[in-house]
Amino acid sequence: MKIRPLLLVCLPALMWAQGRGGPQNREADVNPVSFDRILNANKEPQNWLSYSGGTMSDRYSELKQITPENAKDLTLKWVFQARTLDKEEVTPLVVDGVMYTVQSPNDVVALDAATGKQIWIYQHTPAKGTTNPCCGNLTRGVAILGDKIFLATLDAQVIAINARTGKEVWKTQAGDYTQQYSMTHAPLVVKDKVIAGVAGGEHGIRGYICAFDANTGKEVWRFDTVPGPGEPGNETWLGPDGKPNDSWMHGGAPVWVTGSYDPDTNLTYWGTGNAGPDWDGDARLGDNLYSSSVVALEVDTGKLKWYYQFSPHNEFDWDATQVPVLADINFKGNPRKVMLWANRNGMFYVLDRTTGQFLLGKPFTKVNWATGFDERGRPMLDPKVKPTKEGTLVYPGNQGGTNWYNPSFSPSTGLFYIPTWENSSSVYVKGDAPPEFHAGQSFSGPFPRNQKTDDDLFSSVIAVDPNTGERKWTHRLSAPNTEAGILTTASNVLFSGGRDGAFYALDARTGDLLWDTNLGPSVSAGPMTYEVSGKQYVSIQCGSGLYTFALR
């Protein structure tokens, strides 16, 4: 891939905006955002009203100004430079010409979406003693409803902020940060509720998902992703002797990527993370529900409607915290309401989102841990592929065939797009004894190691047919790994990025490169698009900068 230098291409049009220390707060001119607007986000594609663009989470925009023919004319319009060295993985919102983004770890910033100029900033410093939650001091985004912006923080608080002024409206403590509970994802707004889950799976937490009243901050319901005694699923947490034990108390199953909502079923869907400890399950025998699963919850009550476990008794750290993508498609000749899922374990899945029925499962990258699926959709594990004292080579590797970065589904092409790690592997090693839980310490087991193989290790964007799981095309990236999400548009343009700083546009029908530039640091977020005064923009977070492009 030819990478054009950013500054030489874009400097004439460049406008810089800055973070902390910018202009004094002023009011943002936005209309209240009703839930009906969020449900019908596709009818106002000039805005980006939720983390994944809409509650179905397909990361697809109806905007068409940028096309395969003119994408080569994209140029940089402005950059917002955050005043922080922390990692940034944010997807912003745009409402009526105002952009809402996060300056890591927990500052919310309102910007003029056409120029990048700061309107207001809300600053939140996590409480002293808040632990780095595994993978960076960051928050991936915010939510909006009415006149409020909602933030979930590293010290496990949910905060409502006035969208016009940046002033705090209410604050609720959702977890005990001194026990390693944290929040790192954008909340999901459904009806009059703000839904969010807790991270901290590497520290022995017991995961849960909460709903809060959007007006008051009061907790409405809570669903434990690790069931306790007497709850269905607790029998899947067993000791080394095969009898029930207390492993559920620190069972993990965290939530650190935003879920989805289907108004037809009134269900909200959330992916859960690894069981604890990550890489040694000898003290937690059984399937370990509901870790490495998707759970479908009734929005009004939080009750479990159905679940599907992608990786039972997982010892490979394969969180199922990918984005649940909801779509209405013709599946094998019949209309079907489905959930499309590219899992960290290297498998692509199609589930019926109404019932949870398994419809299709197929590897999308190199896999050796399972030989297939039984008639119920349970993976058939290869008994030889598990952690051992000598070490076992497992495909995909610890980072997975993909990870948290968002895929996209395009109704225009009918294809599902996955940011993929190709031929990755890790060697999993088991210690002499299972790790013991100690408050405040890591609870994981021996870290997997790399082993040189003859595999061609690279990253790619792939297009998959949901009816068959077959690849339609592969676009190989320059970097050997990736952390960037994917955006598709009605004009058949696909945007994504790479760990080498590349940001590019592809033809969503063929995978052909249309345009590219280089932003320097790793691109570790999902692109989004919006329109102001008749001009379409595309924004992407890279390093500590938020870069926004449009046609010349």
Q: How far apart are CA 95 and CA 44, in angstroms?
A: 10
What tokens were used for 486? 């994917």
Rg (C-alpha) for the chain, rounded Å, is 22
Question: pLDDT of the chain along its 552 residues, tens only?
Answer: 444 444 433 343 456 665 544 456 889 888 999 999 999 999 999 999 999 999 999 999 999 999 999 999 999 999 999 988 888 899 999 999 999 999 999 999 999 999 999 999 999 999 987 876 677 788 999 999 999 999 999 999 999 999 999 999 999 999 999 999 999 999 999 999 999 999 998 899 999 999 999 999 999 999 999 999 999 999 999 999 999 999 999 999 999 999 999 999 999 999 999 999 999 999 999 999 999 999 999 999 999 999 999 999 999 999 999 999 999 999 999 999 999 999 999 999 999 999 999 999 999 999 999 999 999 999 999 999 999 999 999 999 999 999 999 999 999 999 999 999 999 999 999 999 999 998 888 898 889 999 999 999 999 999 999 999 999 999 999 888 888 999 999 999 999 999 899 999 999 999 999 999 999 988 999 999 999 999 999 999 999 999 999 999
Given a contact cutoff of 8 angstroms between Cβ atoms, the answer to whether 338 and 350 are in contact is yes
The pairs formed by 103-108 with CB atoms below 8 angstroms and a separation of 24 or more are 103/19, 103/20, 104/136, 104/137, 104/138, 104/139, 104/544, 105/137, 105/138, 105/139, 105/153, 105/154, 106/139, 106/151, 106/153, 106/154, 107/19, 107/20, 108/142, 108/149, 108/151, 108/161, 108/166
Q: How far apart are CA 201 and CA 60, in angstroms?
A: 31
CB-CB neighbours of 535 under 10 Å = 13
What tokens were used for 308? 């599907």
CB-CB neighbours of 537 under 10 Å = 25
pLDDT of residue 482: 84
Q: How far apart are CA 23 and CA 510, in angstroms?
A: 45
Give whole-number Cα distances, 58 to 55, 123, 487, 498, 542, in Å. 8, 31, 9, 20, 22
114: left (phi over 0), alpha (psi -120 to 50) or beta: alpha
What tokens were used for 398? 């610890």
Q: How far apart are CA 183 and CA 151, in angstroms?
A: 9
pLDDT of residue 15: 62
Q: One of 278, 317, 319, 507 is an active-site residue; which one? A: 317
Q: How far apart are CA 89 and CA 186, in angstroms?
A: 11
CB-CB neighbours of 312 under 10 Å = 17
Q: Say which residues have a Cβ less than 8 Å from residue 23's Cβ, sequence separation at least 6.
A: 117, 118
Q: How far apart are CA 356 and CA 194, in angstroms?
A: 24
Domains and CATH numbers, the chain: 6-525 (2.140.10.10)
Q: What is the pTM of this model?
A: 0.95
pLDDT of residue 1: 42
Q: Which of helix, strand or coil describes residue 531? A: strand
Given a contact cutoff of 8 angstroms between Cβ atoms, the answer to whether 5 and 518 are in contact is yes
Q: Say which residues have a Cβ less than 8 Å from residue 24's Cβ, sequence separation at least 6.
A: none
User: Which residues sit opposite 551 in a β-bridge?
Assistant: 74
46: left (phi over 0), alpha (psi -120 to 50) or beta: alpha
Q: Which amino acid is at 494?
A: L
pLDDT of residue 85: 81
Output the DSSP codes for 366-409. ---SEEEE-TTS-EEE-TT-S-BSS-EEESS-TT-SS-SS--EE
| 147 belongs to the catalytic site | no
Q: How far apart are CA 497 and CA 505, in angstroms?
A: 9
